[in-house]
Structure 1
Amino acid sequence: MSHIFLASPHMSDEGYEKEYIQEAFDTNWIAPLGKNVNEFENEMKSKLGAKTSVALSCGTAAIHMALKSVGIKQGDLVFCQSLTFSASANPITYEKAIPVFIDSDESWNMSPKALREAFEKYKNNLPKAVIVVHLYGLTAKIEEIKSICNEYDIPLIEDAAESLGTTVNGKYTGTFGDYGIISFNGNKIITSSGGGMLLFNTDDAKEKASKVLFWSTQARENARHYEHKEIGYNYRMSNVVAGIGRGQLKVLDQRVSKKRYIYEYYQRELSELKGLTLMPRDLYNSYSNCWLTTIQLDDNCKVKPLDIMIALEENDIESRPVWKPMHMQPVFSECDYIDDNQTSQRLFEHGVCLPSDTKMTDEDLERICSIIKGLWNHV
């Protein structure tokens, strides 16, 4: 039986990616930039409805540049969702700022209640930014969170690395905040093998994007010689990588449809297992991309998350735990955490991410569900 991936690259059947890569080779625009980079930025901002965008080497670089764009300095506070991958929080420390982690609620994402408590607690030392995440393609209560940030006049950075294609009231995630983060890592819903995109949604978007372009190309001044007045970074996306991304963007809607089909298959086959629930979907007038279908096991369930992961692993099938919250990570052990009933910790301890690869067949899905059901038949 073949190996089943959690989520892996899925190139278009039409070969769009090869066409753009071939054009880069034919014109010798392999590096540093070129037509594919410019067009990928234009096509992405047009698809999502952002004011402008900058293609970068990864989503982490996009978060870093967003933080620099809002003027983060040493000692500044940044409120950040705790239940997320470390890439959401690590760039805060690049600028020697201080993360304050915010718990989740039933949305699986940042709790507006805990966020408001954080603002009250730090009313005499307000953060310079808030980083909210749309985990596994599930939308946060983004309009409420945006409203709270507006009350305090604090920029909102929207980490939509996992939610490309998710909408709320018809508006794409990544375009609600002042900045939006997209990732094209190999396991994302579309991939360019790596890479990321920073979306700008402010009135001065073009000015801010120009500054990010400057920083991300080593902060080289406009001079005949190499002149540098600021620290810069080698963060720009290559023309070949952007070509893959352009081809992938053409099949984004297809990938979202398949991810939702996978969720619905699991829902149909597994939802009657005692003690098992699937993650929520399409809350708050949203349409989720269902990037990874994730389950929760309640306290009384005799089958444990590790039982499922081991059983799948023994059958050459990938799965993984829910992200371990940042406030539980040793590297952030001294950081403050604003709790809302320990929701993020509970989701981590009781969760499993099931295979959600868009190349899976119904036979693959049947195989996975049969293994999981078998665990319930033996307890």
Structure 2
Amino acid sequence: MRSQDHDRIFLSPPHLGRHELNYVHKAIEDNWVAPVGPNLVGFEADICAAAGVPFCVALNSGTAALHLGLLLLGVGPGDEVLCPSFTFVATANAIRYCGATPVFVDSEAATWNICPVRLREAIEDRLRRGHKPRALLLVHLYGMPAQLAEIGALAEEFDIPILEDAAEALGSTWQQQPLGSFGRVGVFSFNGNKILTTSGGGALVTHDPTLAARARYLATQAKDAAPYYQHSEVGYNYRLSNILAGIGRGQMELLADRVKRRREIFRWYQGHLAALPGLAVAPAAEPPGALSNRWLTTVLLAPPDPADADAPPATPETLRLALETRNVESRPLWKPMHLQPLFAEAPMYGGAVCADLFARGLCLPSGTALTDSDLRRVAEALAEALR
């Protein structure tokens, strides 16, 4: 390993400032380390302001928020939920938590999100089979807004509520409206690799006060209104702690700067990798009216050239291993859910687009603390590998 490659470059590590300590210290000084406290209330208000919604329930993970969101929409055993195949497993797992079945839909090439054409095909086919989908779990992958106009029109036409998985998309907008605010329920993640973090955490947002109250009730073990512990239905221990919410309050002050820096990193890669053969930063263009937080910069390799059979094609795995020799972390794109053993029996509509993206794509280091020197190291390692 070269001497200048000694320090590891991580894919998307936490990036904390000094703001977070003020809130955490205050919680400890006040001995307010139990789940509910001023930091939690303040963090929820901060999220509401950033997402443009009136109600927020901060939770211990984005997955918990997905689970509660589905429950709020009435998803239960025997139901079907429309879901992109090209996503992180937590999206589909939450459907299974409810005893429901995911109905997977392929991506479209422009944003890599759920394809409106395939979505219509899936809805109409499920209706012919006598199964109206209970909900649509809409994901904004890698921070890129989905085709909201077309998807929203389909959801309205068929009266299917949207649960908006904006776990990767805090700070992204469409028509200047924050993602997470378009569905009946929206979800964010504050996991350690997200654009902002609370170490581990998530949030559920909504415009509906009844849904917000229901989420808060379910997230605190569904305790009945009684002076003793009485429970009439199953609840969950899903609330975020006051300490971690303090980290979140400090992080929220940095959201605009963090989005700006992620977008700068994306543009740096675009400019400096443009000359590399057979490699493209993608998705390159944002749809009209869309602004992506560019949570992770991703690249696609060109398809193998059948006329050049003697040259071994580069693959995401050969690039990943080449970056590892320079102590640089990278990651394949999400493996589609319909290719996962766990969901082998689930219905799938299409599949060629997201399977091709997985076969040719790689996520590059995109953390907001990266220096130009770090980025050059990544670019040099990619150039070496492609040579």
TM-score by length of 2: 0.94
Which residues of 2 match residues 1-379 of structure 1 at below 5 A?
1-12=6-17, 15-106=18-109, 107-123=111-127, 124-201=130-207, 205-280=208-283, 281-300=285-304, 302-339=313-350, 342-377=352-387
Gaps of 5+ in 2: 1-5, 306-312
- SS class of match (2:155): helix
**Equivalent-residue separation in structure 1 for 2:289 and 2:275 (angstroms):** 26
Gaps of 5+ in 1: none
- SS class of match (1:236): coil
- SS class of match (2:187): strand
Q: Does structure 2 conserve the Cα–Cα contact (< 8 Å) formed by 1:56 and 1:198?
A: yes
- SS class of match (2:299): strand
- Listed one character per residue, the Cα deviations across residues 65-94 of structure 1 (whole Å, up to 9, x for unaligned) are 011001111100000111000011101111
- SS class of match (1:78): strand
**Equivalent-residue separation in structure 2 for 1:307 and 1:98 (angstroms):** 35
Task: Give the aligned residue type for 1:181.
Answer: V
Task: Give the aligned residue type for 1:339.
Answer: G
- Listed one character per residue, the Cα deviations across residues 296-320 of structure 1 (whole Å, up to 9, x for unaligned) are 0121263221111001111111001
- SS class of match (2:149): helix
Identity %: 44
Task: Give the aligned residue type for 2:293.
Answer: N
Give the drift of 1:376: 2.6
Q: Does structure 2 conserve the Cα–Cα contact (< 8 Å) formed by 1:103 and 1:344?
A: yes
Give the drift of 1:31: 0.7
Give the drift of 1:261: 1.1
- SS class of match (1:122): helix
**Equivalent-residue separation in structure 2 for 1:284 and 1:234 (angstroms):** 41
- SS class of match (1:28): coil
- SS class of match (2:359): helix
Q: Which 10-residue stretch deviates more, 181-190 or 271-280? A: 271-280
Q: Does structure 2 conserve the Cα–Cα contact (< 8 Å) formed by 1:80 and 1:131?
A: yes
- Listed one character per residue, the Cα deviations across residues 37-82 of structure 1 (whole Å, up to 9, x for unaligned) are 1111111111220131110110000000011001111100000111
**Equivalent-residue separation in structure 1 for 2:315 and 2:71 (angstroms):** 42
**Equivalent-residue separation in structure 2 for 1:375 and 1:119 (angstroms):** 44
Task: Give the aligned residue type for 1:197.
Answer: A
Give the drift of 1:146: 1.2
**Equivalent-residue separation in structure 2 for 1:244 and 1:26 (angstroms):** 15
Task: Give the aligned residue type for 1:85.
Answer: F
Q: Does structure 2 conserve the Cα–Cα contact (< 8 Å) formed by 1:80 and 1:102?
A: yes
Give the drift of 1:32: 2.1
Give the drift of 1:272: 2.1
**Equivalent-residue separation in structure 1 for 2:278 and 2:322 (angstroms):** 18
Q: Which 10-residue stretch deviates more, 305-314 or 292-301? A: 292-301
Give the drift of 1:365: 0.5
Q: Which 10-residue stretch deviates more, 40-49 or 280-289? A: 280-289
Q: Does structure 2 conserve the Cα–Cα contact (< 8 Å) formed by 1:165 and 1:172?
A: yes
**Equivalent-residue separation in structure 1 for 2:65 and 2:232 (angstroms):** 22
**Equivalent-residue separation in structure 2 for 1:361 and 1:278 (angstroms):** 19
Give the drift of 1:284: 2.8
Q: Does structure 1 conserve the Cα–Cα contact (< 8 Å) formed by 2:50 and 2:171?
A: no
Return structure 1 stretches of 4+ with deviation > 4 angstroms: none
Give the drift of 1:375: 2.1
TM-score by length of 1: 0.96
Q: Does structure 2 conserve the Cα–Cα contact (< 8 Å) formed by 1:143 and 1:176?
A: no
Q: Does structure 1 conserve the Cα–Cα contact (< 8 Å) formed by 2:221 and 2:234?
A: yes
Give the drift of 1:28: 1.1
**Equivalent-residue separation in structure 1 for 2:377 and 2:232 (angstroms):** 59
